[in-house]
Amino acid sequence: AGLIVSFGEMLIDFVPTVSGVSLAEAPGFLKAPGGAPANVAIAVARLGGRCAFLGKLGDDEFGRMLAAILQENGVDDAGVSFDAGARTALAFVTLRADGEREFMFYRNPSADMLLTEAELNLDLIRKAAIFHYGSISLITEPCRWAHLKAMEAAKEAGALLSYDPNLRLPLWPSAVEAREQILSIWDQADIIKVSDVELEFLTGTESVEDEVAMRLWRPCLKLLLVTLGEKGCKYYTKDFHGSVESYAVKQVDTTGAGDAFVGALLGKIVEDQSALQDEKKLRDLLRFANACGAITTTKKGAIPSLPTAAEAMQLMGSA
C-alpha cells in the first residue's frame, strides 16, 4: 500500500492520576504522548499501514522518548528533526468534574513551532500517497510557512491532501484568527474531517444539519466528514451524502477517537481510492473507521487505546 505522511505536532499531555479534578487539585500527573498528527500516524501503523511522521521535537529527554514511541509503533521517523534550543511541547490537560476540559500549554516557543522550510524532508513528502495535517502548525511562524510549503510539495508530487483542523482555541490569539487561518487552507484539501464542535465553530451556526455542513463544501473536495461522537459520522461527496452509525461501547476517555477514525479512513483510502466515488465502499470504510474511533474511547489515553484491525473487526462482528 502507499505511504501516508502525517505532518504537525507531537507532544506530551500530562493528565491527572485521578479523574474529575482541576489542574490545581490534581495530586499528580501521568505522561500521555499525543499530538493529533502523531496519533494519526500511529493509528495507521497499528492498523497495518505504512506511515511516516514529519515534525520537530526538542533535543531533550522527552523529544527522544517521543521519537522512540514512533519507532516502537512502526512509524517512520526519518522526517523528524530536533531543535537544540527549544523544548518538546507539553500540555497539562484535565477533564474537570463539571465536564469542562482545562488546558495549560507549555509552548514558549516549543520545538514543533520552530520547524523551518529548510528542515522539511522533501524526499519523504514526495513519496506520500496521502499527506495529512492539522491546523496547530499554522498558528506561528516559521512552522506555518513550512506547513504551507510541505502541502505544496505533496500536492505537486500527486498526493491526496487530508486535513483535520483539530481546533485548540486556547492556542490561538483569538477566535477570529483561528477561524480565518483554519479556513485559509480549506480549498487545497481533497479530504476534510471536522467534529460537530468544529463545524459549529467554523460556520458560526449551532447545528450539524446538512445545509450547515454544506457551507464547508468546496468543488475541489473529494470527501467531507463530520464526526458526531457516539452518533457516528456524516459524509458528503459531490455525488452522494449520508450518515453511518457507530458501535455501542463503554466510553472511558474520548482522547484520540477522532485520530483513530482518521487513521482508519486514510489507511483504507490509500489501499483503494475508489471508495471516494463508490458510496457502498465508502459506507463500509466508515463503519470500520467508526469502530476504530469507538474502541479508542474505551481506554485512557490516545496511543494505548488505538486499535488493531482485528480488534475493530471483532467489534463490528459482535454488533
Question: Where do contacts with ligand ATP occur on this chain (CB under 6 A)?
Answer: 195, 227-230, 232-233, 246-247, 249, 251, 254-259, 261, 290, 293-294, 297
Q: Which is nearer to ligand ATP, 81 or 296 (CB)?
A: 296
Task: Check if the beta carbon of residue 318 is closer than 8 Å to that of residue 249.
Answer: no
What's the rounded Cα separation, in Å, for the pair 185 and 193? Answer: 13
Q: Which is nearer to ligand ATP, 221 or 257 (CB)?
A: 257
Shortest approach of ligand ATP to residue 251 CB, angstroms? 4
Q: By C-alpha distance, which of 179, 135, 125 is closest to 155?
A: 125
Amino acid code (one letter) for 8 = G
Q: Which is nearer to ligand ATP, 17 or 251 (CB)?
A: 251
Q: Which is nearer to ligand ATP, 94 or 255 (CB)?
A: 255
Task: Check if the beta carbon of residue 188 is closer than 8 Å to that of residue 181.
Answer: no
Q: Which is nearer to ligand ATP, 4 or 146 (CB)?
A: 4
Shortest approach of ligand ATP to residue 249 CB, angstroms? 5
Shortest approach of ligand ATP to residue 254 CB, angstroms? 4
The residues that are catalytic are: 259
Find where cell 483561528 sits: 178
Shortest approach of ligand ATP to residue 259 CB, angstroms? 5
Output Rg (C-alpha) for the chain, integer angstroms.
18
Residues shown for the chain: 319
Find where cell 474502541 sits: 295
Shortest approach of ligand ATP to residue 149 CB, angstroms? 26
C-alpha cell at 234: 456524516
What value, to the nearest 5°, has the Cα angle with vertex 26 and ends 25 and 28?
A: 145
CA atoms within 13 A on the CB side of 81: 22
Task: Check if the beta carbon of residue 102 is closer than 8 Å to that of residue 94.
Answer: yes
